[in-house]
Structures are given as structure tokens and as C-alpha cells.
Amino acid sequence: MTNGYFENKVAVITGGSRNIGRAVAAALVERGCRVVIGDVLDTEGQKTIQDLNSMTGKENAVYLHTDVTKYADLIALFELGQEQFGGVDFAFLNAGISVPNDIMLDDLDDEKDERLMKINTMGIIKGSKVAVRYISKRGGGAIVNTASTLGLDCTNYSSIYNASKHAVVGWSKSYTQLPNAANIRMNALCPHGTNTELLWKDFNEYHQGFHKTSGLMVDINTIVKAVLLLLEDEQYNGIALKALPGDAIEVEESPKVFQKIILASQEVKPEEIASNMVALEERAGSKFKKDLDESVQRYFQKSSI
């Protein structure tokens, strides 16, 4: 990694009070980055920023109570980054929960059934909408959205968690035009099981059993390395990066479904489709850039009234 890359940059981290979020915050602060942590666990969050600030002897970390399901809270978190540190370069959207029950068998309850999707999926969709506005105002940066290996593959008994994390991967791979439009890269982080409360306290016993019997856990340091790579390395855009046992970090290869359909077709010339697609992408790219610029302007005009 480049020396000094994170120096004086600013990262917003959701779900940063403990475990993966906290470890990433610590790694960034160690590299000279300032961090703005948002979480619902206020006591742990305050303790985390105290620890980080005593590590550097400066106020390089701040905390704000943030419920990622609410735009007002997310906006306040990014505003804090701007007020306190002058802007935001990175967003690590990491807040998430698991549930112990198999939701298919639960009673039909709107609020209970939607809670996990609101935090794990909508929290990231809303968080990245806010992040794009602040990071593009800054001139560019990167967004990392925490999914899971359960966002790529599925086990029984964790159905709604699987669905929420597949959605995070889908969202994160859907904006490959962001670098051209706003100098922002967005990617999904897919850690395998690691030793945190989310796995041992909140997940069900079947899921925990997999990790107990296989012993296949990923070290939290591998996850931190993968996040730093996604924040820094410009080759990564619109991909899912796996953090795996054995300190392995791998890009999940795309199944290239569209490409295979084109190649398998007897009716069309692949070159013709390919050139149509390129033209479409190019048009979508310049239109997207214009529309994004307008959205960002509209947002900051409104918020300054």
C-alpha cells in the first residue's frame, strides 16, 4: 500500500462501535486518517473514540448516535465529518445485524420481518446515496459496503440475512459509472464468518455450528486488509471482494450472464451487440454524470437554506 495515502483523509464508518467497524477505524487512524463513527451502541462508540484519540493524542475520531435506517441520522453523520474535519473522502457502510430465527416460520409481522432488511440493505442504499453527495463535493473517494460471503452463496437457516447481503452485493455492483461521473469507486466487502457478537450471540445455532465444526473462520485482520485495499486500490470498482480464512483476499468473478447470452445467440453478430452496448454505456455515462451533478447541487442548495 502507498505510504501516506490515508494521511489527513476523512472516513465515515457506520457500525463502528465495535468489532469489524472498530478494527477498520483503528487501522485508518493509525495511518493518519480522521474517522467519524456512527452507531446505535453509544457507550461502546464513545469508548472506541476515546481509545483511538488516546492512541494518537489528537481528536482524530468523533462519534455520533446514528440509526442507519434514517436519512436524518445519516445526513447528520456526514455533516459532522464536514464540520469537524472539512469533508468526507471515504464511507465504510458496515452496520448490520443477524437474526436467530428462520423467518419463513415466523408469524406474519410487517415490522419484525422488515427490520433486518431495513438495517442491512436499506441502511447501505441510503448510506451510499448520502455518501455520494458528500464525497463528490469533496472531489472523489471510495465507498465500501459490508456484505458477506452469504451475499454470494447461501446456507439454510439464514435466509433473510442471505437475501439482505445479496442485495448489498447487487447494489454495490450497479454503479460502475461512478468513477467517470464523480471520481468515486463503490465496492462490496464479503467477509466470511469472523469471531464477533453478530455471529456468536445473534445468529442461530445452525449457522454457528457450521463455524464451530469446520473451524473455518476468517481473521479480523484479513477483513481490515480487504477494506483498506478497496478504499485505496483504483483497480477495484463495482466488484465484490471476499475476505476468507487463511488470510486470502479474492475478487468474486462475475458470472457474465449477459455476455454469455450474446455469445450463445445464433441470431445476432456479437460485434454488433457489443458496439451497441458500448454506445449505450457511453450515453448512460454522460447522462448519469449530468444528472448526478444536478442531484448533488440540488441537495446542497436545499440543505443550505
Task: State the number of binding residues for ligand NAD (CB under 6 A).
Answer: 28
The answer to whether 299 is a known catalytic residue is no
Stretch that binds ligand NAD, among 95-103, 170-178, 229-237, 256-264 (CB under 6 A): 95-103
Instruction: Report the residue from 81, 127, 141, 193 that binds ligand NAD according to the rule CB under 6 A.
Output: 193
Taking residue 175's Cβ as centre, other Cβ atoms within 10 Å add up to 20
Q: Between 25 and 119, whose beta carbon lies closer to ligand NAD?
A: 119
Strands 184-191 and 248-251: unpaired
| Residue 186, strand partner residues | 143
114 binds ligand NAD, rule: CB under 6 A? no
242 — phi, psi (to 5°)?
A: -90, 135
64 — phi, psi (to 5°)?
A: -140, 135
182 binds ligand NAD, rule: CB under 6 A? no
Indicate which residue of 63, 134, 161, 236 is catalytic.
161
Q: Between 116 and 292, whose beta carbon lies closer to ligand NAD?
A: 116
Closest C-alpha to 86, from 31, 10, 182, 6? 10
96 binds ligand NAD, rule: CB under 6 A? yes
* Residue closest to ligand NAD when measured from CB atoms: 96
- CA–CA separation, 25 and 220 (whole Å): 13
- CA–CA separation, 108 and 270 (whole Å): 48
Q: Count CA within 13 A, CB hemisphere, residue 32.
A: 8
Estimate to the nearest angstrom the gap between the alpha carbon of 122 and the chain centroid.
12
CB 269, min distance to ligand NAD, A: 43
CB 151, min distance to ligand NAD, A: 8
Enter the C-alpha cell of residue 43: 457507550
Stretch that binds ligand NAD, among 49-57, 83-91, 93-101, 225-233 (CB under 6 A): 93-101
Q: Which residues here bind ligand NAD, judged by CB under 6 A? A: 14-15, 17-21, 39-41, 66-69, 94-97, 119, 146, 148, 191, 193-194, 196-199
Catalytic residue list: 161
